[in-house]
């Protein structure tokens, strides 16, 4: 079978979902046209009223092996991971192991005195003023940094972008520290806490906070960048081993289970979820506010994730019970606008 026929079969298999029509399928395929073919591609999930009404996949997860993407393919979520980190913090608050307004130095006492005023809430909402760890890394060091490495860099940093709590600046540093707080408050490794308290409980069997040499990624998609007229594998960077800001791999099938859990009390009571979904701060875009691991724009809760070789987004319309997820293993384009176009096909 040719590669194009293989892809066509994969898309057809993934696209036969109850509740849609051939015309709707054609419109979705038109929106996703650029992801089809012999290059790296995408998986698309549409959930309405708790049912997956579209599960469609395009392109290859592994160009070298010519492995087609399917609804089971796991992509590096990048910053879509942040919502799981925020959920872990909320779980520990429910357990009485921490308070959202605890100073972070309760758990990370080696940080400098200049960080005394920073709270867990500041980290969750990107209002800490912490310096981006990427800007503190030695550009000559090509080894991967981990969450504890982020802490070591910040232990030496006395400056902030602004006084904590007075402004917003998106902070991967903050979410790396949150992962360490989860470890110290729970007594478990961060990846283990996510697995036992979230992924296993929801039946997200293939979702993992990936650690090279410790865990594996089933049905793994590799990331690619288009350069010099060809696709080049660009799956990992020096920051790819940091778990708290973007280290989770998942599939559209597992994310359908995650989305369902946000509507009920299996993980957390709805009043607790409401903390994550309520605007806590304005951002640098006047149309967007931020909660705990979620961007909030009008009626939508959403988050994008971008890292070397991957571009992803989840967009939820809670009042309409509609969710769109687009996961891709290529450097371009950013899929937020694509997800909104897909949502428009299904909104009344």
Q: List, by residue number, the catalytic residues.
A: 79
Which pairing describes strands 67-68 and 224-227: parallel, antiparallel, or unpaired?
A: unpaired
DSSP-assigned letter for residue 162 = S
Which DSSP string do the residues of 2-41 spell out, in sequence order?
Answer: -HHHHHHHHHHHHH--TT--HHHHHHHHHHTGGG-SSSB-
Contact call for residues 74 and 205 (beta carbons, < 8 A) = no
In this structure, what token pair is assigned to residue 176?
Answer: 């790396």
Contact call for residues 102 and 122 (beta carbons, < 8 A) = no
Burial of residue 288, with CB atoms counted within 10 A of its CB: 0-12 exposed, 13-18 middle, 19 or more buried: middle
> CA-CA distance, 59 to 328, in Å (whole number)?
9
Contact call for residues 162 and 129 (beta carbons, < 8 A) = yes
Which pairing describes strands 208-209 and 322-328: parallel, antiparallel, or unpaired?
A: unpaired
- Which parts of the chain are beta strand (E)? 42-48, 51-58, 60-62, 67-68, 75-76, 208-209, 224-227, 230-233, 248-250, 281-282, 289-290, 295-297, 300-307, 310-317, 322-328
In this structure, what token pair is assigned to residue 126?
Answer: 């990107």
For residue 42, give the nearest of 309, 322, 226, 343 by alpha carbon: 309
- 3-class secondary-structure state, position 79: helix
Q: Which residues contact 30 (CB under 8 A, 6 or more apart)?
A: none
């Amino acid at each position: 079978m040719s590669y194009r026929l293989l892809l066509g079969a994969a898309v057809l298999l993934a696209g036969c979902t109850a509740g849609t029509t051939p015309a709707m399928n054609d419109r979705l395929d038109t929106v996703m046209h650029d992801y089809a073919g012999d290059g790296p591609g995408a998986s698309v999930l549409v959930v309405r009223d708790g049912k997956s009404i579209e599960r469609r996949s395009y392109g290859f997860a592994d160009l070298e092996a010519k492995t087609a993407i399917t609804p089971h393919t796991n992509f590096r979520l990048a910053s879509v991971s942040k919502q799981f980190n925020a959920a872990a913090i909320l779980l520990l608050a429910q357990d009485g192991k921490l308070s959202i307004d605890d100073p972070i130095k309760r758990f990370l006492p080696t940080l400098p005195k200049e960080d005394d005023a920073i709270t867990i809430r500041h980290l969750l909402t990107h209002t800490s003023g912490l310096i981006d760890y990427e800007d503190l890394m030695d550009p000559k060091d090509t080894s991967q940094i981990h969450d504890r490495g982020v802490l070591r860099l910040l232990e030496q940093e006395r400056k902030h972008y602004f006084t904590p709590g007075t402004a917003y600046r998106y902070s991967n540093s903050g979410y790396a520290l949150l992962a360490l707080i989860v470890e110290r408050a729970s007594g478990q490794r961060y990846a283990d806490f996510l697995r036992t308290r979230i992924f296993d409980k929801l039946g997200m069997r293939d979702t993992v906070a990936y650690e090279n040499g410790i865990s594996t990624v089933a049905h793994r998609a590799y990331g690619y960048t288009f350069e010099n007229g060809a696709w080049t594998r660009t799956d990992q960077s020096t920051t790819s081993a940091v778990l708290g800001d973007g280290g989770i791999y998942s599939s559209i099938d597992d994310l359908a289970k995650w989305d369902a859990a946000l509507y009920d009390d299996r993980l957390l009571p709805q009043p607790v979820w409401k903390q994550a979904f309520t605007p806590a701060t304005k951002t640098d875009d006047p149309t967007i506010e931020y909660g705990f691991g979620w961007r909030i724009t009008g009626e939508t809760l959403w988050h994008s994730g971008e890292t070397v070789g991957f571009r992803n987004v989840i967009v939820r319309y809670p009042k309409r019970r509609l969710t769109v997820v687009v996961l891709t293993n290529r450097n371009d384009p950013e899929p937020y606008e694509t997800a909104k176009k897909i949502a428009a096909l299904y909104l009344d």
